[in-house]
């Protein structure tokens, strides 16, 4: 599952599972939501309201993740993917992750040396566009979902036209890098998280 992770903590001598990650992934495992201090069945209206709030914060340059909980925990030896359901959506966490002050100048220098910069990120399109604009990278954005809808020939054209790829999982990132190499480019790739790990 993309951009979702679960951790277990104790609270008042009671185990509780906490899931955090991309909003669209967290919502998939929730059947309840906390609203006005009460737990209610999650509805399309609630999902739309939460999505709008997350989108507004992302447009302001915030990184946004969702948080969900469930009280039942079967233990580390029994807990598996089948237990990742029946969660309660409790809210959003937003934080600033600004680029380094030197980023824009570094990107300008690389362009002067003939190095093209392409961004491949798991972050949502709104936050990604905000950050990229701040460092001088302006481009249309292609999402991982859109990439999955392209055949190899179509993608080989798109990677030449587009510099920003958002909401990407590791396999989608690998496909873009491989396509650039097949197009004859020398490609260097850097990342700092598990979502940047190369495929097999």
> Which ranges in the chain are annotated with CATH 3.40.1110.10?
4-96
| pTM (whole model) above 0.85 | no
Cβ atoms 170, 196 nearer than 8 A: yes
Reported as a single tens digit per residue, the pLDDT across 121-163 is: 988 888 899 889 889 998 899 999 999 999 999 999 999 999 9
Per CATH, domain 103-196 is 3.40.50.1000: yes
What mean pLDDT is predicted for residues 183-188? Answer: 94
Rounded Cα gap, residues 167 and 143, in angstroms: 6
pLDDT value at residue 104: 92
Q: Tell me, what DSSP letter sits at residue 193?
A: S
Q: Write down the pLDDT at residue 79.
A: 63
Rounded Cα–Cα distance for residues 194 and 196 (Å): 5
In the chain, CATH 3.40.50.1000 sits at 103-196
Q: For 4-96, CATH number? A: 3.40.1110.10
pLDDT, tens only, 78-106: 666 777 788 999 999 998 878 888 999 99
Q: Name the β-bridge partners of 166.
A: 143
Sheet (strand 164-166) strand order? 119-120, 164-166, 141-143
Spacing of C-alpha 116 from chain mean position: 23
């Amino acid at each position: 599952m993309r951009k979702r992770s679960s951790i277990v903590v104790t609270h008042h001598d009671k185990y509780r599972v906490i899931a955090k990650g991309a909003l669209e992934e967290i919502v998939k495992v929730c059947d309840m939501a906390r609203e006005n201090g009460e737990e209610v069945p999650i509805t399309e209206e609630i999902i739309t309201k939460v999505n709008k709030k997350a989108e507004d914060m992302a447009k302001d340059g915030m990184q946004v993740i969702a948080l969900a909980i469930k009280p039942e925990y079967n233990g580390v030896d029994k807990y598996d993917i089948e237990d990742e359901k029946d969660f309660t959506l409790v809210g959003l966490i937003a934080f600033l992750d600004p680029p380094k002050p030197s980023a824009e100048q570094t990107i300008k220098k690389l362009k002067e040396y003939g190095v093209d910069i392409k961004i491949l990120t798991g972050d949502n399109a709104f936050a990604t566009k905000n950050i990229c604009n701040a460092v001088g990278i302006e481009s249309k954005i292609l999402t991982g979902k859109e990439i999955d809808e392209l055949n190899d020939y179509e993608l080989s054209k798109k990677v030449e036209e587009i510099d920003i790829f958002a909401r990407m999982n590791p396999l989608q990132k690998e496909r873009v890098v491989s396509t650039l190499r097949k197009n004859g480019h020398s490609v260097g790739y850097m990342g700092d998280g598990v979502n940047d790990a190369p495929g097999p």
